[in-house]
C-alpha cells in the first residue's frame, strides 16, 4: 500500500511539474512547447496501443511513433489489440497497468472514464493544438460535465445517405440532387416499384438502426433536443419524440423484410448487389466497393440526409469522432500526453497519411487535394453540418444506449403501432437508472 | 433344423436393420458435428470479394489458398504459438502434479474430511469463470502491489499459469482420485511396511502406476488450456504476451471483418490440437472414460 501512495505522490509531483511547464509555455509558441517536452522526455519509454487496423495499423503506428522518437528522444513501445476486446475490457485495462496513450473514441466513452479518473485531463495539450483544431472538434472532445477534454480529436467519418448513382439514374432521377424529403420518398417509391428494396436497414445488433433514428430526430426536432433527449433532459414520451417515430414508421414499408436479421454488412451487400435504393450508414464500408471493382466504387455516392423541418435544415450530422486518450494510471503520463499531442498535431497526421492512413482528420492542417470524388463528397457532407453528433451509443450512457434504446428500436420495427408503449418503457427505464 | 435356420435368419435380419438404423443415426449426428468445420474449410478457400459480391451461398468462381498465405502473414503466428507453449506446458505439468497430490492424500489416507476436500476442489469447477474474473483481477493487482509490483501476476505469465492451474486442478484431482481407487490398497500397505515414507510412497509407488491416467489427462488438459482465451484476454494487457487465440483476433478489423481470412486463421490455429488428437487419440479416448468404472 505504501508503494501505492508513493506512486501517487510521484504522480502529483509530475503533475506539478507539468503545470509549471504550462506556465512557461503559455505565452510561447507550439514549437517551444515541444522543445520543452523533448528535453523532459529524452530517454524515457512511452507505451502506445493501436486499436485494430491490421498490418496497415501497425505501419501507421510505427511511422508516427518513430517520428516522435526522432523528435523527442523518448522510446515508444507499441502494440496492436483487437478493437472490440479493448473496448469491452476498457475499465479493467485502465485500472490495471495500461499503456500510456492509445486511440480511443470521443463522447460518453471518454467523458465517463475521464470523470472516473481513469483518463488524464488533456486541457494543456488541446490548448496547444487550438490553432489547428476546429472549435466543433474541441467542443466534441470536451466533457460537458467536468468541462475537461479527455481525448485529443483526430479523425471522424460521416453517417449519411448512401446510394448508387447508376440506380438513381435508371429510375429517372438526378443522382446529384437528392435534397428534399420528397426526393427521398420518390427515390424509395420508384426503386420499390422495380421490385427492389426502397430503404435498406439492419437492426440485428441493435445499433445499426440508431443512425436512422438519430438523423430523423435531429432533422425534426433539432440537435439540442436530440442531445437533451439522450441525456435525460427531454422525455422519450414527449410528443416531439413521437413525431420522430411517425417519420420512422413512414420508412418501414420501404424496408427489406429481414431488418432484424441483418447487420451493417447485410445492408452493404444489398447496395453492393444493386438490390436497394438507399441506406443510412457510416461511410467506412466504401473500401469494400473499391475491393469489388473501381466501377462499383465510382458508382457509390453519399449525400446529407434530406431536410424535414426547415427550421433546422441539414445542420446536423452523425459523425463519430475518434482521437487519442492518455491513461491516468500509465507509468509515464507526461510521456503519454506528449505522444498523444504528437499524434494529433499536423506533424503526426502527415506521418500517418504518408504511411497509408485513409481516415478523414478534423485538423485544419489536413490536406485533401489528392482526394477522389467520393472522399471529397464525404468531406462536403461533413462540412454541410454545423452540429456534430457522435452516434447514439456514444452520445448516451453505455448502460442506456445498448441495453435500452437498441431493443426499443427493434421492437418498434417489429410492431410500429406499439410505439407509445415502447417509448413509455424507454422513459421508465431511463428513470430507473442510477444517477451519478 | 430348418426352424432354427429361419429364426437365425430372422435374427440376423433384425440385427441388420438395427445396425442400419444405428449407422444412419450416428452418420446424421456426425454430419451435424462436422458440418461447421467443413463449412469453415470451405469458407477459407473462397476470396472475400466473391462473398460480398455474390453472397455466402453463391456458387464459387474461384478457390484459392490466398487466405491461408495472408493469414499466416497477418497473424504473426510463431510468436503467439510460443506464448501458448509458455502458458500451456507449465500449466499442465503443475495441474497434474498438484492434482495427483490431492488425489493421493484423499484416497490413500483416511481422515475425517477427505471427501469434503475432494468435493470442495471439484465444486470450484462448477463456478462460471466470468463470475470470478473481477475478483481474480483485483486479487492479482492487490497482491502485486503488496510486493511493490503491479505486474507480478497481472499481465504476467505467472498469473495466467496460476489461474489455469487453480481452475483445472479440481478436475484433475477428481479424475485421478477415481483412478487411484482402482489401485489395490495392498500395494500401499506393503510399501508402508517396507518403510516408505509419505513422499516416497507417492513418488516411487503411486505415481508410476498413475502413468496411463496422467497421459490421458495431460492430453485433455493441453487441449483445454491451449484453446482457452478468456483469461488471457482479461489478465494480459499486452497483446504480444497472449496465446494463439489472440492472433485470430488480429484478423478482425474495427468495422470490417474478412470472415474468409478469419476462417483460414481458425483452421491454422486449430491444427496443433487436431494433430495432437490424432497422434494421441488412444490416450484421449482413455481420458474420456477414465475412472468411469469405479467412482
Taking contacts as CB-CB distances below 8 angstroms, the residues of chain A near B48 are 291
Average pLDDT over residues A349-358: 88
Q: What percent of chain A has pLDDT over 70?
A: 91
Facing residue for B237 by CB, picked from A97, A269, A292: A97
Which residues of B55-211 form beta strands (DSSP E)?
none
> Quick check: B102 and B117 in contact, CB under 8 A?
yes
Could you identify the residue written with the cell 497482491?
Answer: B143
User: Do B255 and A53 count as a contact with CB atoms less than 8 A apart?
Assistant: no
CA neighbor of A184 nearest in space, from A282, A192, A206: A192
For residue B237, CA distances in Å to A11, A97, A186, B100 come to: 22, 7, 52, 33
Identify the three-state secondary structure at position B194.
coil
User: Do A291 and B55 count as a contact with CB atoms less than 8 A apart?
Assistant: no
What are the two backbone dihedrals, phi and then psi, of residue A182, each rounded to the nearest 5 degrees? -65, -40
Instruction: Please tell me the distance from the alpha carbon of residue B192 to that of residue B75, in angstroms, as a whole number.
Output: 55
Q: What is the pLDDT of residues B145-189, one digit of tens each?
A: 999 888 889 999 999 999 999 989 988 988 898 888 888 888 888
Neighbours of A160 (CB within 10 A): 27
CA neighbor of A181 nearest in space, from A60, A351, A305: A305
pTM: 0.78
Taking contacts as CB-CB distances below 8 angstroms, the residues of chain A near B155 are 96-97
User: Do A284 and B53 count as a contact with CB atoms less than 8 A apart?
Assistant: no
User: Do B137 and A96 count as a contact with CB atoms less than 8 A apart?
Assistant: yes
> Quick check: B236 and B155 in contact, CB under 8 A?
yes
What letters, b where the CB count within 10 A reaches 16 and e where it falls short, cover B182-200? Answer: ebeeeebeebeeeebeeee
User: Do B253 and A83 count as a contact with CB atoms less than 8 A apart?
Assistant: yes
Flag whether residue B64 sits within 8 Å of chain A, measured between CB atoms.
Answer: no
Q: Which of A30-39, A246-255, B93-102 has the lowest mean pLDDT?
A: A30-39
User: Do A92 and B234 count as a contact with CB atoms less than 8 A apart?
Assistant: yes
Burial class (CB in 10 A: 0-12, 13-18, 19+), B21: exposed
C-alpha cell at A406: 437498441
The whole-angstrom distance between B49's CA and the closest CA on chain A is 6
Flag whether residue B48 sits within 8 Å of chain A, measured between CB atoms.
Answer: yes
User: Do B237 and A285 count as a contact with CB atoms less than 8 A apart?
Assistant: no
Instruction: Tell me the CB-side half-sphere exposure of residue A376, using CA atoms within 13 A.
Output: 7
Nearest-Å Rg of the Cα atoms of chain B is: 25
User: Do B254 and A52 count as a contact with CB atoms less than 8 A apart?
Assistant: yes
Q: What is the pLDDT of residues A190-230, one digit of tens each?
A: 999 999 999 999 999 889 999 999 999 999 999 999 999 99
Q: What is the pLDDT of residues A63-114, one digit of tens each?
A: 999 999 999 999 999 998 888 889 888 999 999 999 999 999 999 999 999 9
> Quick check: B201 and B210 in contact, CB under 8 A?
no
Average per-residue pLDDT for chain A = 88
Q: Which of A343-347, A363-367, A403-407, B49-53 has the lowest mean pLDDT?
A: B49-53
User: Do B240 and A54 count as a contact with CB atoms less than 8 A apart?
Assistant: no
Identify the three-state secondary structure at position B189.
helix
* DSSP 8-state code for residue B205: I
Identify the three-state secondary structure at position B210.
coil
Instruction: Please tell me the distance from the alpha carbon of residue B66 to that of residue A410, in angstroms, as a whole number.
Output: 39
| ipTM rounded to 2 decimals | 0.74
Residues 6 or more apart in contact with residue B26 via CB below 8 angstroms: none
What is the per-residue pLDDT for B31?
94
User: Do A82 and B55 count as a contact with CB atoms less than 8 A apart?
Assistant: no
Chain A positions contacting chain B at CB under 8 Å are: 1, 3-4, 51-55, 79-85, 89, 92-93, 95-99, 264-265, 268-269, 272-273, 282, 284-285, 287-288, 291-292
The whole-angstrom distance between B269's CA and the closest CA on chain A is 17
pLDDT for residue A23 is more than 50: no
Facing residue for A97 by CB, picked from B49, B55, B154: B154
User: Do B238 and A79 count as a contact with CB atoms less than 8 A apart?
Assistant: yes
For residue A302, CA distances in Å to A207, A215, A285 come to: 21, 15, 12
pLDDT level of residue A31 (50, 70, 90 thresholds)? very low
Taking contacts as CB-CB distances below 8 angstroms, the residues of chain B near A5 are none
Question: A167 vs A384, which has greater pLDDT?
Answer: A167
Identify the three-state secondary structure at position B198.
helix
Identify the three-state secondary structure at position B181.
coil
What is the per-residue pLDDT for B288?
65
Taking contacts as CB-CB distances below 8 angstroms, the residues of chain B near A99 are 237
User: Do B55 and A269 count as a contact with CB atoms less than 8 A apart?
Assistant: yes
- The CATH class given to the A2-154+320-365 domain equals alpha beta
Instruction: Please tell me the distance from the alpha carbon of residue A425 to that of residue A431, in angstroms, as a whole number.
Output: 10
Q: What percent of chain A has pLDDT over 90?
A: 66
What is the per-residue pLDDT for A88?
85
Taking contacts as CB-CB distances below 8 angstroms, the residues of chain B near A265 are 52, 256
Q: Which of B70, B83, B231, B237 to mutate to test the interface with A (most CBs of A within 10 A)?
A: B237
Q: Which of A5, A8, A95, A96 to mutate to test the interface with B (most CBs of B within 10 A)?
A: A96
CATH 3.40.190.10 maps onto chain A at: 2-154+320-365, 159-318+375-432
User: Do B237 and A93 count as a contact with CB atoms less than 8 A apart?
Assistant: yes
Taking contacts as CB-CB distances below 8 angstroms, the residues of chain B near A320 are none
pLDDT for residue A49 is more than 80: yes
The whole-angstrom distance between A281's CA and the closest CA on chain B is 12
Residue of chain A minimizing CA distance to B245: A82
Query: For chain B, which residues make up each domain, given as ranges?
Result: 2-44, 69-288
Considering the segment(s) A159-318+375-432 as one domain, its CATH architecture is 3-Layer(aba) Sandwich (3.40)
Q: Which of A92, A286, A293, A320 to mutate to test the interface with B (most CBs of B within 10 A)?
A: A92
Q: Which of A151-165, A236-250, B59-73 has the lowest mean pLDDT?
A: B59-73
Q: Which of B48, B50, B51, B53 to mutate to test the interface with A (most CBs of A within 10 A)?
A: B53
Q: Which of A240-249, A301-310, B116-125, B156-165 has the lowest mean pLDDT?
A: B116-125
CA neighbor of A49 nearest in space, from A326, A358, A337, A284: A326
Give first-to-last CA distance, chain B, whole Å: 48
Instruction: Please tell me the distance from the alpha carbon of residue A282 to that of residue A375, in angstroms, as a whole number.
Output: 13
For residue A16, CA distances in Å to A6, A20, A21, B242 come to: 15, 6, 9, 37
Residues 6 or more apart in contact with residue B279 via CB below 8 angstroms: none
C-alpha cell at B205: 509407488
C-alpha cell at A46: 512511452
pLDDT for residue A15 is more than 60: no
pLDDT for residue A26 is more than 50: no
Homologous superfamily (CATH) of B69-288 is MetI-like (1.10.3720.10)
Burial class (CB in 10 A: 0-12, 13-18, 19+), A395: buried
The whole-angstrom distance between A93's CA and the closest CA on chain B is 6
Question: B115 vs A429, which has greater pLDDT?
Answer: A429
C-alpha cell at B254: 474495427
**Positions in chain B short of pLDDT 50:** 294-295
The three-state DSSP-derived secondary structure of chain A is CHHHHHHHHHHHHHHHHHHHHHHHHCCCCHHHHHHHHHHHHCCCEEEEEEECCHHHHHHHHHHHHHHHHHHHCCEEEEEEECHHHHHHCHHHHHHCCCCCEEEEECCHHHHHHHHCCCECCCHHHHHHCCCCCCHHHHHHHECCCCCCECCEEEEECCEEEEEEHHHHHHCCCCCCCCCEHHHHHHHHHHHHHCCCEEEECCCCCCCCCHHHHHHHHHHHHCHHHHHHHHCCCCCCCCHHHHHHHHHHHHHHHHECCCHHHCCHHHHHHHHHCCCEEEEEEEHHHHHHHHHHCHHHHHHEEEECCCECCCCCCCCEEECCEEEEEEECCCCCHHHHHHHHHHHHCHHHHHHHHHCCCCCEECCCCCCCCCCCHHHHHHHHHHHCCCEEECCHHHHCCHHHHHHHHHHHHHHHHHCHHHHHHHHHHHHHHHHHCCCC
> Quick check: A264 and A285 in contact, CB under 8 A?
yes
Amino acid at each position: 500500500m505504501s508503494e501505492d501512495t508513493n506512486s501517487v505522490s510521484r504522480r502529483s509531483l509530475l503533475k506539478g511539474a507539468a503545470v509549471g511547464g504550462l506556465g512557461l509555455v503559455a505565452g510561447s509558441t507550439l514549437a517551444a512547447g515541444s522543445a520543452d517536452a523533448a528535453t523532459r522526455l529524452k530517454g524515457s519509454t512511452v507505451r502506445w496501443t493501436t486499436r485494430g487496423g491490421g498490418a496497415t495499423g501497425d505501419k501507421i503506428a510505427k511511422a508516427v511513433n518513430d517520428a516522435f522518437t526522432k523528435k523527442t528522444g523518448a522510446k515508444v513501445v507499441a502494440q496492436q489489440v483487437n478493437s472490440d476486446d479493448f473496448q469491452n475490457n476498457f475499465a479493467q485495462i485502465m485500472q490495471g497497468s495500461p499503456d500510456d496513450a492509445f486511440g480511443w473514441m470521443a463522447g460518453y466513452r471518454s467523458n465517463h472514464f475521464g470523470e472516473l479518473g481513469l483518463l488524464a485531463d488533456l486541457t494543456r495539450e488541446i490548448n496547444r493544438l487550438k490553432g489547428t483544431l476546429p472549435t466543433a472538434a474541441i467542443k466534441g472532445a470536451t466533457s460537458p460535465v467536468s468541462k475537461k477534454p479527455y481525448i485529443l480529436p483526430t479523425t471522424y467519418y460521416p453517417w449519411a445517405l448512401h446510394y448508387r448513382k447508376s440506380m438513381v439514374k435508371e429510375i429517372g432521377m438526378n443522382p446529384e440532387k437528392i435534397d428534399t424529403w420528397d426526393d427521398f420518398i420518390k427515390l424509395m417509391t420508384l426503386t420499390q416499384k422495380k421490385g427492389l428494396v426502397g430503404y435498406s436497414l439492419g437492426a440485428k445488433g441493435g445499433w445499426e438502426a440508431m443512425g436512422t433514428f438519430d438523423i430523423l430526430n435531429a432533422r425534426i426536432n433539432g440537435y439540442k433536443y436530440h442531445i437533451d433527449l439522450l441525456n435525460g433532459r427531454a422525455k422519450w414520451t414527449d410528443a416531439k419524440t413521437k413525431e420522430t417515430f411517425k417519420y420512422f414508421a413512414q420508412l418501414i414499408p420501404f424496408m427489406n423484410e429481414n431488418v432484424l436479421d441483418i447487420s451493417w454488412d447485410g445492408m452493404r451487400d444489398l447496395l453492393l448487389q444493386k438490390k436497394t435504393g438507399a441506406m443510412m450508414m457510416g461511410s467506412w464500408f466504401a473500401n469494400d466497393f473499391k475491393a469489388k471493382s473501381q466501377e462499383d466504387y465510382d458508382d457509390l455516392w453519399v449525400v446529407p440526409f434530406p431536410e424535414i423541418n426547415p427550421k433546422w435544415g441539414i445542420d446536423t450530422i452523425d459523425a463519430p469522432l475518434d482521437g487519442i486518450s492518455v491513461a491516468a494510471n500509465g507509468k509515464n503520463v507526461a510521456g503519454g500526453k506528449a505522444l498523444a499531442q504528437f499524434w494529433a498535431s499536423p506533424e503526426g497526421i502527415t506521418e500517418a497519411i504518408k504511411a497509408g492512413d485513409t481516415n478523414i482528420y478534423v485538423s485544419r492542417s489536413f490536406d485533401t487535394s489528392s482526394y477522389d470524388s467520393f472522399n471529397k463528397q464525404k468531406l462536403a457532407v461533413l462540412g454541410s453540418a454545423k452540429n456534430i453528433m457522435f452516434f447514439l451509443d456514444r452520445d448516451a450512457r453505455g448502460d442506456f444506449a445498448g441495453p435500452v434504446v437498441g431493443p426499443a428500436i427493434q421492437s418498434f420495427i417489429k410492431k410500429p403501432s406499439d410505439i407509445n408503449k415502447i417509448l413509455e418503457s424507454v422513459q421508465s427505464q431511463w428513470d430507473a437508472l442510477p444517477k451519478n | 433344423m430348418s426352424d432354427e435356420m429361419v429364426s437365425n435368419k430372422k435374427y440376423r435380419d433384425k440385427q441388420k436393420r438395427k445396425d442400419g438404423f444405428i449407422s444412419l443415426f450416428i452418420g446424421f449426428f456426425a454430419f451435424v458435428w462436422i458440418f461447421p468445420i467443413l463449412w469453415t474449410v470451405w469458407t477459407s478457400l473462397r476470396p472475400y470479394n466473391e462473398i460480398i459480391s455474390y453472397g455466402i451461398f453463391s456458387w464459387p468462381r474461384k478457390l484459392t489458398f490466398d487466405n491461408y498465405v495472408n493469414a499466416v502473414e497477418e497473424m504473426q503466428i510463431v510468436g503467439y504459438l510460443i506464448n501458448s507453449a509458455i502458458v500451456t506446458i507449465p500449466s499442465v505439468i503443475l495441474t497434474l502434479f498438484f492434482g495427483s497430490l490431492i488425489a493421493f492424500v484423499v484416497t490413500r489416507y483416511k481422515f475425517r474430511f477427505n471427501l469434503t476436500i475432494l468435493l470442495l476442489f471439484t465444486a470450484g469447477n462448477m463456478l462460471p469463470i466470468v463470475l470470478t474474473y473481477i475478483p481474480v483481477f483485483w486479487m492479482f493487482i492487490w497482491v502485486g502491489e503488496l510486493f511493490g509490483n503491479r505486474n507480478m501476476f497481472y499481465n504476467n505469465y505467472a498469473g495466467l499459469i496460476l489461474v489455469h492451474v487453480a481452475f483445472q486442478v479440481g478436475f484433475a484431482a477428481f479424475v485421478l482420485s477415481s483412478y487411484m481407487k482402482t489401485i489395490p490398497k495392498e500395494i500401499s500397505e506393503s510399501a508402508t511396511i517396507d518403510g516408505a515414507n509419505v513422499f516416497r510412497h507417492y513418488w516411487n509407488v503411486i505415481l508410476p502406476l498413475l502413468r496411463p491416467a496422467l497421459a490421458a489427462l495431460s492430453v485433455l488438459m493441453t487441449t483445454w488450456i491451449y484453446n482457452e482465451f478468456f483469461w488471457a484476454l482479461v489478465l494480459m494487457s499486452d497483446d504480444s504476451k497472449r496465446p494463439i487465440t489472440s492472433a485470430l483476433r488480429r484478423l478482425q478489423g474495427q468495422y470490417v471483418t474478412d470472415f474468409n481470412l478469419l476462417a483460414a486463421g481458425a483452421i491454422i490455429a486449430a491444427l496443433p490440437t487436431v494433430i495432437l488428437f490424432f497422434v494421441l487419440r488412444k490416450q484421449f479416448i482413455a481420458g474420456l472414460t477414465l475412472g468411469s468404472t469405479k467412482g
